[in-house]
Amino acid sequence: MRTVRQLLDGKPHEVITIGPDAPVLEALRVMAEHEIGALPVMEGASLVGIVSERDYARKVVLQGRASKDTPVREIMTRQVRTVSPADTVEHCMQLVTDRRIRHLPVLEDGRLVGILSIGDLVKAVIEEQQQTLEHLQRYIAS
């Protein structure tokens, strides 16, 4: 099974983040610009939360708040589940499934080094299954 480090090697190395005092509208602009669904929230070098489109829908839209007047810190998820580069894709899939989350920040020695989406994980699982099928087909044919 592939590791988080192997998945990160295939992704751009820049991690797009936002600060806790930024307006939610700015977070939405950044997510739209980069075509991503969540942003790690950083205070200096520390991960203090994560803000997602789901947070926006549930904590701004449904509560009648204004995106331009609400800071990210008021809607971000503070209890962030993280993984390390040594974790396996299987472990990550279990986390996103059990906790019903879509994004996993990756920390190495307390430093944010990447973020994985459920899409990244599903793609990795599909690729691995395709490789297994190819190996089995070659084995059967020989």
Q: In this predicted model, which residue has the larger pLDDT, 107 or 128?
A: 107
Collect all residues with Cβ–Cβ distance below 8 Å to 95 and sequence separation of at least 6.
Answer: 81, 83, 101, 104
Query: CA angle 112-129-35, nearest 5°?
Result: 40
Mean pLDDT throughout 7-28?
Answer: 95
- pLDDT tens column, 80-121: 999 999 999 999 999 999 999 999 999 999 999 999 999 999
- pLDDT tens column, 35-91: 999 999 999 999 999 999 999 999 998 888 888 999 999 999 999 999 999 999 999
Give residue 111's pLDDT: 96
Domain boundaries, given as residue ranges, for the chain: 4-141
Protein fold of 4-141: CBS-domain (3.10.580)
